[in-house]
Amino acid sequence: MGRRTVSVAAAATMVLGLAACGGDDGTPTLTWYINPDDGGQAELARRCTEAADGAYRIETSLLPREASAQREQLARRLAANDSSIDIISLDPPFIPEFAEAGFLAQIPDDIADAVTENVVQGAIDGATWRDEIVAVPFWANTQLLWYRRSVAEAAGLDPENEPVTWQQLIEAAQSQDKYLGVQGIRAEALTVWINALVTSAGGEILENPEAPADEVQLGLESEAGAAAAQVIEEIARNGLGGPGLGNQDENGAMLQFQGDRGSFMVNWPFVWAATLAGVEGGNLDQALVDDIGWALYPAVAEGEESRPPYGGINLGIGAFSAHTDLALEAAQCIVTPENQAYYMVTNGNPASNTEAYDDPEVRESFPMADLIRESLEAAAPRPQTPYYNEVSSGLQSTWHPPSSVTPDSSPEEATTLITEVLKGERLL
């Protein structure tokens, strides 16, 4: 072997060696930007990597905890055409903005049909923008009414069998001298609450969400808007939300509900898994779990439909990804009913695919599985507009603190502010 051959061979070995360090055997690596959870998405990434049998490998990259912070990071990266973003765990309200900006790769019709089969309507709506499926529904969240059976009984309510209204809850909590669990913090949680109240009263926050920024019409200055404001006003004025109402988030509401003065609470199903974990860890009593009941989200007026909040996560495919085909394939693997059932059982986040609700483990871990499914079908999404962030922040700044909300002025203030902000005439 000549000297030259040796050096070529050595160079070749080095190149191969480096390739092995960088990407194993040249398998394309897909990066999945995930929101924080209990490790479920990382496990799904592992499972789908295994199932791909060498076609691709999925790696996860963690986004911040707050939904708004997730949006900020993703928007900045995508605006810079970041090609490392292959799959994105996206909060549904931000999907129109991302789709409109061209941040999401198109989803071919056949795949769109496949990933929406047996999926609850709320999740399909959340993944749709301008009549096209732009994201793959993954898990779908909805809020339920959680209550302490003992308190409800003492107050003469039976939420399990008879739908309840906010007014009934207010009176019940008041008569029993207990706190009502709601989210009054100046954050996305407040918008979720306002939206549920307005839609349940038969209104809409935005009447034409698909309109351009300067033509968007708000529907808050209506009976529905006033009814929503009245519920918030009454809870805040009577101190029913507790002393920390103005900065109470979902977790704060849960802790309050688990305490001595807990009565009723609207919250996502994660509270069930968290309460069970609290009992297991010895922080909470089993008696508490036995006392907890669940029912459909309260309605604003008697006889009217309840419109529970809708949330969850859909999977977007990065428009600048070098492997959009593989990313689509991987997303389909991630959202199979089996994987959704696994995710629901281990991480407490409800599936968007109705088949997952037949899984025996899901039924065992979630005695309220059918109710969650029913609630998902009735759920109302938050306004779907590319300007969602402005609408939500505008609501938060005019309807916070809850003690400042009144039916006379709050809907008008929010309408003026949001309209002017969308026209670019005001700061937010």
Partner 1 sequence: MSVTQAPDTVGADAGPPPPASDRARAERRLGWYLAGPAFVVMLLVTAYPIAQAFYESLFKYRLTDPDAREFSGLGNYLVVLSDGVWWRAVGVTVLITVITVAIEAVLGFALALVMHRALTTLRPILRTAILVPYAIITVVSAFAWFYAFDINSGFVNSWFSWVPGISENTNWFGEFSTSVTVIIASEIWKTTPFISLLLLAGLAQVPDELQEAAKVDGATWWQRMYKVTIPNMKAAIMVALLFRTLDAFRIFDNVFIMTQGANNTEVVSFLAYRQTISRLEIGLGSAVSVLLFLCVVLISFLFIRLFKVDLASARGER
CB of 384 to partner 1, least distance (A): 15
Alpha-carbon distance 127 to 121, whole Å?
Answer: 10
CB of 236 to partner 1, least distance (A): 11
Which two three-digit tokens encode residue 85?
């973003």
Q: Is 129 in the site for partner 1 (CB under 8 A)?
A: no
Nearer to partner 1, 245 or 368 (CB): 245
Q: Is 100 in the site for partner 1 (CB under 8 A)?
A: yes
Q: Is 252 in the site for partner 1 (CB under 8 A)?
A: yes
Nearer to partner 1, 11 or 79 (CB): 79
Name the CA dihedral angle for 214, 217, 218, 221, rounded to a multiple of 10 degrees. 120
The beta-strand segments (E) located in 242-376 are 262-267, 292-295, 310-317
Which two three-digit tokens encode residue 323?
């492997």
Site for partner 1 in 47-76 (CB under 8 A): 68, 72, 75-76
Nearer to partner 1, 64 or 202 (CB): 64
Site for partner 1 in 376-395 (CB under 8 A): 386, 389-390, 393
Nearer to partner 1, 66 or 329 (CB): 66
Q: Is 409 in the site for partner 1 (CB under 8 A)?
A: no
Site for partner 1 in 255-314 (CB under 8 A): 255
CB of 242 to partner 1, least distance (A): 8
Q: How many binding residues for partner 1 (CB under 8 A)?
A: 31
- Nearest-5° angle of CA 309, CA 422, CA 401? 50
Task: Show the binding pattern over residues 181-210: x = contacts partner 1 (CB under 8 A), - = does not.
Answer: ----xxx-----------------------
End-to-end CA distance of the chain: 74
Phi, psi dihedrals of residue 420, rounded to the nearest 5°: -70, -35
Q: Is 101 in the site for partner 1 (CB under 8 A)?
A: yes
Site for partner 1 in 321-380 (CB under 8 A): none
Q: Is 244 in the site for partner 1 (CB under 8 A)?
A: yes
The verdict on whether omega for the bond into residue 401 sits within 30 degrees of 0, i.e. cis, is yes
CB of 80 to partner 1, least distance (A): 9
Residue 359's nearest CA partner among 343, 374, 347 is 343
Among 98, 129, 297, 366, binds partner 1 (CB under 8 A): 98
CB of 420 to partner 1, least distance (A): 9
How many helices (H) and strands (E) the chain has is answered by: 19, 11
Strand arrangement of the beta sheet that strand 292-295 belongs to:
179-181, 262-267, 144-148, 292-295
Give DSSP secondary structure letters for 151-218.
HHHHTT--TTTS--BHHHHHHHHHHTT-EEE---SSSHHHHHHHHHHHHHTT--SBS-TTS-GGG--B
Q: Is 425 in the site for partner 1 (CB under 8 A)?
A: yes
CA atoms within 13 A on the CB side of 148: 24
Q: Which residues bind partner 1 (CB under 8 A)?
A: 68, 72, 75-76, 79, 97-98, 100-101, 103, 185-187, 243-247, 252, 255, 386, 389-390, 393, 400-401, 424-428
